[in-house]
Chain A
């Protein structure tokens, strides 16, 4: 390996030029993705403008395509809310899991928990979806939502009667379970990256287990925040599983027990028939563009946080 700035040897140069096209493919694919999304969504953005983001009507009109009305507000709302619920639920679990496997659990348990989480990460999303449909939604409706509504019905979030288990809350819970493995993986890496000297120092000054954990979590905080952001990005993009439990109804409501929509489930639902309606495809691509923007924003912030944490810890 040559250090940057130093002239390359001939064989190094050859290797560099041989690898260059492959690296370029990745960048080209990304730019192309952006370009295509932008190009295809342009007609919808031109026609509907900001209304795409401020209304949630979804009324395609076949006889008179120009009079079709599309709004992405409800799906956008659903995506943001369900992903937020997911992160809020998964974050405390992530922190506990990381602490347990890194500090408390005996070696064997650590391995068992670790491999369970790896299996969870590898499961196809449709499996989560079917499980959510079959088990989670009815379970939550009966044992969580109904009591919550009866006891805490005065809080707007729980104010509506949970008619079915297929709603925004279920989507959030299912997403929390799905993003947990990723969040644990990222947070665990951050935790492990804390230099050993810090741990020694903390123990040397006689910190209790609780104080020690607090110090360590403080040091790993940027990594944990990054885990949350990456989890958010993943949750926002999740499609199949969410489409099965979210109820697929374009509603914007302050109550979590009402069915809702997410951008990705909207795309999954509408894509196959979209060619029949002149603007629908374009609107769906706009949804894709928004998803990409959300994902990129979350990832960028996460990457910056991780980099900053590395710098600080040296």
Chain B
């Protein structure tokens, strides 16, 4: 190889000489000039760099100090957070916010244990034990309402579908196997449902979506769906029949769902809308069949707020919030709703505290009218509770 390239070089040289461009002496000159140019370039660049640095330092000192807030956590709130951050930064050029969608669990631990972020977003609130541990030091604010949609695909049937917690529970227990089951037919009079096997998709990763979904099943059909089957990751009874499938993330569930001819799945509303999946109407506590929409989602939270089951301060224990809003009373209320919480400390260095307060104020005022499809803004009463944070968070 080496001899080859050397030979190649020589050949090239001979050719150049042949053309008459390069003579023996001028070749050396050329090399010298080239080397000189390189050295000159290095020197110039070095000098430039030093000056550039000084210049940048000087101009930065003149501007107001830039505050960087970092957050991490819920992937669920990420699309909304992106919108909020972009608009907020436009209005407040001296503050920059970074949000990393690492998952609710990681977000909580990065805020509380590792203390590497300034705020976290989490779909589940702090558990009661966690709350006791950080009582008075950590604030929790529900900033957005989400919903879990039950999506279905039935071969040869494109009509609407009504489902109840009881039927969904029996499907996920593996007891209802076909779409033409009498229990499903009873909820959907007149619908021609085929005798097709239902493939049941659930999340394989631990997920807040699963927790909300299973919590709903337990609250609305406790005799069928025991408390032991409530959580972010559970053992799915339907799996033992071979008809259950697990997929990672809403995206994974959507991918499986798209490729199956006859299936049921639960996904965040946003994914169901984005993919135009048919969404089932679910029987709520008042006995009405309701589809998820900003109105029906907000109705659920508003009714929980009216009945006084939600806490009234960011410093309170929110661990029971899901119980308050899932399967809430009210004719319009969609039964499978959830919050996404923003979590912060009560004390920060002064500039950070000021910036964070600005952001919280923005989210709970203007931000609530900039809600992305698939979510719902929180009702006015809840915004007022969240805004109490402005007087709780202290700087310095």
A-side residues, CB < 8 A to B, are 57-63, 133-134, 137-138, 160-161, 163-166, 243-244, 247-251, 253, 255, 257-259, 261, 268-270, 272-277, 280
The answer to whether B206 and A270 touch across the interface, beta carbons within 8 angstroms, is: yes
Complex contacts, B321 vs chain A, CB 8 Å:
none
- Please tell me which stretch of B59-67, B233-241, B273-281 contacts chain A, meaning at least 4 of its Cβ atoms lie within 8 angstroms of it: B233-241
- Please tell me which stretch of B105-113, B139-147, B384-392 contacts chain A, meaning at least 4 of its Cβ atoms lie within 8 angstroms of it: B105-113
- Does any Cβ of A come within 8 Å of B103's Cβ? yes
Complex contacts, A247 vs chain B, CB 8 Å:
245-246
- Does any Cβ of A come within 8 Å of B20's Cβ? no
The answer for the CA separation of A276 and B210 in the assembled complex, in Å, is 14
The answer to whether B205 and A272 touch across the interface, beta carbons within 8 angstroms, is: yes
Known pairs A60-B206, A60-B231, A164-B260; A249 contacts B248 (CB<8 A):
no
Closest to B204 in A: A248
Closest to B205 in A: A269
- Does any Cβ of A come within 8 Å of B199's Cβ? yes
Complex contacts, B246 vs chain A, CB 8 Å:
247-249, 259, 261, 269
The answer to whether B239 and A62 touch across the interface, beta carbons within 8 angstroms, is: no
The answer to whether A250 and B103 touch across the interface, beta carbons within 8 angstroms, is: no
Complex contacts, A251 vs chain B, CB 8 Å:
239-240, 242
The answer to whether A133 and B102 touch across the interface, beta carbons within 8 angstroms, is: no
Closest to B240 in A: A251
The answer to whether B242 and A273 touch across the interface, beta carbons within 8 angstroms, is: no
Closest to A130 in B: B255
The answer to whether A133 and B105 touch across the interface, beta carbons within 8 angstroms, is: no
The answer for the CA separation of A227 and B217 in the assembled complex, in Å, is 50
- Sample of 16 A–B contacts (CB below 8 Å): A60-B231, A61-B231, A62-B232, A166-B245, A244-B252, A244-B255, A249-B236, A249-B244, A251-B239, A261-B246, A269-B246, A272-B103, A273-B104, A273-B233, A275-B108, A276-B108
Which residue of A60, A243, A249, A257 is within 8 Å of B233 (Cβ)?
Answer: A60
The answer for the CA separation of A249 and B252 in the assembled complex, in Å, is 14
Complex contacts, A166 vs chain B, CB 8 Å:
245, 256
The answer to whether B232 and A250 touch across the interface, beta carbons within 8 angstroms, is: no
The answer for the CA separation of A248 and B205 in the assembled complex, in Å, is 9
Chain B, residues 201-221, CB within 8 Å of chain A (1/0): the string is 000111100000000000000
Complex contacts, B248 vs chain A, CB 8 Å:
243, 248, 268-269
CB distance from A104 to the nearest CB of B (A): 30
The answer to whether A249 and B207 touch across the interface, beta carbons within 8 angstroms, is: no
- Does any Cβ of A come within 8 Å of B13's Cβ? no
- Does any Cβ of A come within 8 Å of B354's Cβ? no
- Does any Cβ of A come within 8 Å of B259's Cβ? yes
The answer to whether A163 and B235 touch across the interface, beta carbons within 8 angstroms, is: no
The answer to whether B234 and A59 touch across the interface, beta carbons within 8 angstroms, is: yes
The answer for the CA separation of A47 and B307 in the assembled complex, in Å, is 44
B-side residues, CB < 8 A to A, are 102-106, 108-109, 127, 197, 199, 204-207, 228, 231-236, 239-240, 242-248, 252, 255-256, 259-260
The answer to whether A62 and B245 touch across the interface, beta carbons within 8 angstroms, is: no
Complex contacts, B199 vs chain A, CB 8 Å:
163-164
The answer to whether B239 and A259 touch across the interface, beta carbons within 8 angstroms, is: yes
The answer to whether A163 and B242 touch across the interface, beta carbons within 8 angstroms, is: yes
Closest to B232 in A: A273
The answer to whether A259 and B242 touch across the interface, beta carbons within 8 angstroms, is: yes
Known pairs A60-B231, A273-B232; A163 contacts B108 (CB<8 A):
no
Sorted from nearest, which 3 A-B pairs have the closest CB atoms?
A248-B246, A273-B206, A248-B204
CB distance from B35 to the nearest CB of A (A): 28
Complex contacts, A137 vs chain B, CB 8 Å:
259
CB distance from B115 to the nearest CB of A (A): 14
List 8 other contacts, CB 8 Å, given A248-B248, A273-B232: A59-B234, A60-B232, A60-B233, A251-B240, A259-B242, A273-B104, A273-B206, A275-B106
- The interface centre, meaning the residue of B102, B104, B245 with most chain A CB atoms within 10 A of its CB, is B245
Closest to B200 in A: A163
The answer for the CA separation of A160 and B127 in the assembled complex, in Å, is 42
Complex contacts, A160 vs chain B, CB 8 Å:
242
Complex contacts, A133 vs chain B, CB 8 Å:
255, 259
Known pairs A269-B205, A272-B105, A273-B206; A250 contacts B239 (CB<8 A):
yes
The answer for the CA separation of A200 and B31 in the assembled complex, in Å, is 54
The answer for the CA separation of A58 and B229 in the assembled complex, in Å, is 12
Complex contacts, B108 vs chain A, CB 8 Å:
275-276
The answer for the CA separation of A119 and B78 in the assembled complex, in Å, is 36
The answer to whether B232 and A276 touch across the interface, beta carbons within 8 angstroms, is: yes
The answer to whether B109 and A275 touch across the interface, beta carbons within 8 angstroms, is: yes
The answer to whether A59 and B235 touch across the interface, beta carbons within 8 angstroms, is: yes
Known pairs A248-B246, A251-B240, A253-B242; A269 contacts B204 (CB<8 A):
yes
The answer for the CA separation of A29 and B19 in the assembled complex, in Å, is 56
Which residue of A250, A268, A276 is within 8 Å of B206 (Cβ)?
Answer: A276
CB distance from B147 to the nearest CB of A (A): 20
Complex contacts, A164 vs chain B, CB 8 Å:
199, 245, 256, 260
CB distance from B328 to the nearest CB of A (A): 22
The answer to whether B240 and A273 touch across the interface, beta carbons within 8 angstroms, is: no
CB distance from A252 to the nearest CB of B (A): 10
Which residue of B233, B244, B259 is within 8 Å of A259 (Cβ)?
Answer: B244
The answer for the CA separation of A97 and B173 in the assembled complex, in Å, is 48
Closest to B128 in A: A63
Which residue of A59, A253, A275 is within 8 Å of B105 (Cβ)?
Answer: A275
The answer for the CA separation of A62 and B36 in the assembled complex, in Å, is 69
Complex contacts, B260 vs chain A, CB 8 Å:
164
The answer for the CA separation of A244 and B207 in the assembled complex, in Å, is 17
The answer to whether B127 and A62 touch across the interface, beta carbons within 8 angstroms, is: yes
Complex contacts, B239 vs chain A, CB 8 Å:
249-251, 259
Complex contacts, A272 vs chain B, CB 8 Å:
102-103, 105-106, 205-206
The answer for the CA separation of A301 and B329 in the assembled complex, in Å, is 65
The answer to whether A62 and B231 touch across the interface, beta carbons within 8 angstroms, is: yes
Complex contacts, A259 vs chain B, CB 8 Å:
239, 242, 244-246
The answer for the CA separation of A246 and B390 in the assembled complex, in Å, is 49
The answer for the CA separation of A164 and B197 in the assembled complex, in Å, is 11
CB distance from A143 to the nearest CB of B (A): 16
The answer for the CA separation of A258 and B236 in the assembled complex, in Å, is 15
